[in-house]
Amino acid sequence: MTAATDTAAPPAFLNLHGTPVADTFAEAFPITGTRLIITAATENWARTAAHELCGFACSVIACDCEAALERSLSADETPDGRPGVSVLLFAFSRDALQKAVTERVGQCVLTCPTTACYGGLAGTPRDKQISVGGQLRFFGDGFQASKKLGTRRFWRIPVMDGEFLCEDRVGTIKGVAGGNLLLCATNQTQALLAAESAANAMREVADVALPFPGGIVRAGSKIGSRYKKLKASTNDAYCPTLMAQTRSELPPDTGAVYELVIDGLSADAVRAAMRAGLHAAASCSGLTLITAGNYGGKLGKHHYHLRELL
């Protein structure tokens, strides 16, 4: 979910590697998250399933969840000793998350050659778990079988290349959504290079997901619209083509802006990712300003002050 910047007063400027940094903060909010581990005969097939699973999961403004691939897993890191990937998914409630996860695993992982699906948050109490394999087992039409290993139950669902193994229940956690950075540059090429550098640095941090395409947002949003049916609309204060028509927040020489949005399983993980992205972006040339989006503290309790990330 992208955020508009508080326009009550122009922020002061800090400096990082010669790049101006607004003395402002990113505002994030609580959200329910989970980690899935998808394995397959090869990493390519595990990644294929993960990319399909994460399709149309950019923003809870209009999607059922926010999701992104977290990292690749070696065979000795997965439950079944096969190559895999971990995926993070987030939604506003545990019920909404269960619906999104079950539908996406059923449509995108169950159908993908050689895959299996496991929970990636060990030791979660049952009242904070959601049913995944327990819902998908009915696809087996009575031929499904249950297998229990220790305290974990799995379902073996017959499919045309063998069996799809899926964990009965997976854990959830109260995470954080909406950490963000806005990178302003003199032109599109420089803005994109800085955004790519920031996204790559953020992906090195554990427990975070960058849900937008390639981790980068070109269409940042603000709350509300002049059209009553829309709950969000273009963040005109950060659109370079509107600098003469609106109350712009952009430095005069800005030609392009990209936003990075970070969801995480903890507040500390989001903070670490923002710090990594901030430093990576500030090392790039052509930036006119690095800032962050907030609603003046009215949206969420998690405030990430850029001053503290320098």
Share the mean pLDDT of the chain: 95
Q: CATH for 30-173, among 2.60.40.1180, 3.30.70.520, 2.40.30.10, 3.10.20.30?
A: 3.30.70.520
SS3 string of 273-292? Answer: HHHHHHHHHHCCCCEEEEEC
Identify the band that residue 296 occupies on the pLDDT scale cut at 50, 70 and 90. confident
Question: Rounded to an integer, what is the distance from CA 233 to the centroid of its chain?
Answer: 20
Asked whether this chain's domains 13-29+176-309 and 30-173 adopt the same fold, the reply is yes
Own/partner pairs, 107-112, CB within 8 angstroms, 24+ separation: 107/52, 108/49, 108/52, 108/53, 108/55, 109/38, 109/49, 109/52, 109/53, 109/164, 109/166, 110/136, 110/139, 110/157, 110/159, 110/164, 110/166, 112/40, 112/45, 112/48, 112/49, 112/52
| Nearest alpha-carbon partner for 16 in 304, 306, 216 | 306
Identify the band that residue 241 occupies on the pLDDT scale cut at 50, 70 and 90. very high
Residue-wise pLDDT tens digits, 216-227: 999 999 989 999
**43 vs 300, higher pLDDT:** 43
Would the pLDDT of 88 be above 60?
A: yes
Would you say domain 13-29+176-309 falls under CATH 3.30.70.520? yes
Would the pLDDT of 6 be above 50?
A: no
The domain segmentation of the chain, as residue ranges, is 13-29+176-309, 30-173
Rounded mean pLDDT, 16-34: 97
Work out whether the CA dihedral 228, 233, 234, 237 comes out positive or negative. Answer: positive
CA distances from 282 to 11, 111, 123, 134, 253 (A): 18, 42, 39, 47, 17
Tokens of residue 260, six digits: 């990075």
Would the pLDDT of 5 be above 60?
A: no
Would the pLDDT of 12 be above 90?
A: no
Low-confidence winner among 5-9, 15-19, 304-308 (lowest mean pLDDT): 5-9
Identify the band that residue 238 occupies on the pLDDT scale cut at 50, 70 and 90. very high
- How many of the other CB atoms lie within 10 Å of CB of 55? 12
pLDDT of residue 8: 44
Tokens of residue 305, six digits: 């002050």
pLDDT of residue 142: 98
Q: Helices 267-282 and 188-202 meet at what angle, rounded to 10? A: 140
Tokens of residue 216, six digits: 């980068």
Residue pair 33/170 in contact (Cβ under 8 Å)? The answer is: no
Would the pLDDT of 192 be above 60?
A: yes
Rounded mean pLDDT, 201-209: 98
Would the pLDDT of 11 be above 80?
A: no
Would the pLDDT of 1 be above 50?
A: no
Would the pLDDT of 285 be above 50?
A: yes
| Nearest alpha-carbon partner for 61 in 90, 35, 36 | 90
pLDDT of residue 93: 97
Residue pair 301/176 in contact (Cβ under 8 Å)? The answer is: no
Residue-wise pLDDT tens digits, 55-64: 999 999 999 9
pLDDT of residue 300: 87
Residue-wise pLDDT tens digits, 113-171: 999 999 999 999 999 999 999 999 999 999 999 999 999 999 999 999 999 999 999 99
For 37, phi then psi, to 5°, come to -110, 120
